[in-house]
């Protein structure tokens, strides 16, 4: 995995027809919460076993173009001694890496967050490249509330995202730029639209200032949806229409692909929205997915932390991948949810 491949080619492979990205980059703390939910012990070995079952499911490479890994996972080997990153690469799946250090309180701001992790990033990226990573991810979070978000918060996160992206491209690693407007709250879909539009305009302005090559990156944004506590939830068609309109106003055509995050939506909800967006006609970018829980939830539940359930978990994963792949091509229907 030491050959030099053009970043434009990596980006194109990640958004290939019928394929998307599996986000398996949960931090140790986050995956412990997931394991607690299924009463499974969270150890280095159990985390390895779970991720190994995801990566070795028969047929996964038909639907997954790349996998975002956590630092621990990129360094781990399977039970038979092969590195997990090599297991992916041998199937034609591109290994990626989460490089941010999480969202921390933003100074002189009331409850807002800024993502940290720029210190030492250049050296970490060089090491990650040697370990096989060919793309990376950095997540910024923007909340909607009575007085949030402030332009200060948006500016701080956009600047960090752009500096991260520039360092990635310097290291020949494709950056996935993830500015997430959170679904938490009672805000309307129109409030989500307004905040997302402002955030994306600010992000692309910073990317330009930091000399990031748009053809060598991917965008991982939220869909335009109602807040999860909003009493009037927007329908699927409204979500699709407002999402596409927002991105037409903010995302340059030079960006090769948009890989949506699921952002707290259920598996079926995220899939239905992705399908409706892709059914709206031709777009200047490929529109795909970079889902975490919306690809993993059923598999995690089926596994339950037990080795005898690996086959069932892999079956659940592949089924979910099939449906999400269909949505990526605009060919999904809710009837497919109950098919085996």
Is there a catalytic annotation at residue 33?
no
The count of C-alpha atoms lying within 13 angstroms of the C-alpha of 205, restricted to the half-sphere facing its C-beta, is 11
Residues 6+ apart with CB under 8 A from 81: none
Q: For residues 240-263, b (16+ Cβ closer than 10 Å) or e, as one string? A: bbbbbebbeebbeeebbbbbbbbb
Please give the structure tokens belonging to residue 330: 């605009």
Give me the tens of pLDDT residue by residue for the chain, a chain 340 residues long. Answer: 446 689 999 999 999 999 999 999 999 999 999 999 999 999 999 999 999 999 999 999 999 999 999 999 999 999 999 999 999 999 999 999 999 999 999 999 999 999 999 999 999 999 999 999 999 999 999 999 999 999 999 999 999 999 999 999 999 999 999 999 999 999 999 999 999 999 999 999 999 999 999 999 999 999 999 999 999 999 999 999 999 999 999 999 999 999 999 999 999 999 999 999 999 988 999 999 999 999 999 999 999 999 999 999 999 999 999 999 999 999 999 999 987 5
Identify the active-site residue in 26, 112, 178, 206.
178
> Is residue 251 within 8 Å of residue 219, measured between CB atoms?
yes
Is there a catalytic annotation at residue 220?
yes
Cα–Cα distance list, 162 to 58, 178, 230 (Å): 37, 10, 32
Kindly give the residue spans of alpha helices, DSSP state H, lying in the chain: 7-14, 28-37, 44-55, 71-75, 84-90, 121-130, 151-170, 189-209, 236-250, 267-278, 293-303, 310-328
Q: What does the DSSP 8-state code read for residue 112?
A: -
Count of positions (residues) in the chain? 340
Q: How far, in Å, CA of 51 to CA of 180, rounded?
A: 24
Burial status of residue 148 (CB atoms within 10 A of its CB: 0-12, 13-18, 19 or more): middle
| pTM of the predicted model as reported, rounded to 2 decimal places | 0.96
Identify the active-site residue in 19, 98, 137, 220.
220
**Residue 286 in 3-state DSSP?**
strand
Distance of alpha carbon 17 from the chain centroid:
17
What structural domains and CATH numbers belong to the chain?
7-338 (3.20.20.70)
> Is residue 267 within 8 Å of residue 320, measured between CB atoms?
yes
Q: Which of 256, 277, 142 is nearest to 200 (CA)?
A: 142
């Amino acid at each position: 995995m030491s050959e030099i491949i053009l970043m434009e080619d990596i980006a194109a492979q990640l958004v290939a027809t019928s394929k998307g990205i599996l986000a398996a980059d949960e931090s140790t703390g986050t995956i412990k919460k997931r394991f607690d939910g299924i009463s499974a012990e969270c150890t280095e070995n159990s985390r390895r076993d779970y991720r190994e079952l995801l990566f070795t499911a028969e047929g996964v490479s038909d639907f997954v173009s790349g996998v975002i890994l956590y630092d621990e996972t990129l360094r781990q080997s399977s039970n038979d001694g092969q590195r997990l990153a090599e297991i992916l690469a041998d199937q034609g799946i591109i290994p990626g890496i989460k490089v941010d250090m999480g969202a921390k309180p933003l100074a002189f701001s009331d409850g807002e967050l800024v993502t940290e992790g720029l210190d030492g990033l250049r050296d970490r990226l060089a090491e990650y490249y040697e370990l096989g990573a060919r793309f990376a991810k950095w997540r910024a979070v923007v909340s909607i509330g009575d007085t949030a978000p402030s332009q200060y918060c948006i500016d701080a996160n956009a600047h960090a995202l752009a500096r991260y992206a520039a360092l990635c491209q310097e290291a020949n690693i494709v950056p996935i730029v993830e500015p997430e407007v959170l679904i938490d709250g009672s805000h309307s879909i129109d409030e989500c639209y307004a905040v997302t539009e402002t955030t994306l305009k600010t992000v692309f302005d910073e990317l330009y200032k930091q000399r990031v090559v748009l053809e060598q990156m991917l965008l991982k944004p939220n869909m335009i949806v109602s807040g999860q506590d909003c009493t009037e939830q927007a329908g699927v068609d409204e979500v699709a229409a407002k999402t596409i309109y927002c991105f037409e106003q903010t995302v340059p055509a030079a960006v090769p692909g948009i890989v949506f995050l699921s952002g707290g939506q259920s598996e079926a909800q995220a899939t239905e929205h992705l399908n409706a967006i892709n059914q709206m006609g031709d777009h200047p970018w490929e529109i795909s997915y970079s889902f975490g829980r919306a690809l993993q939830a059923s598999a995690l539940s089926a596994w339950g932390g037990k080795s005898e359930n690996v086959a069932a978990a892999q079956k659940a994963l592949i089924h979910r991948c099939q449906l999400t792949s269909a949505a990526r091509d605009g060919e999904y229907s809710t009837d497919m949810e109950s098919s085996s």
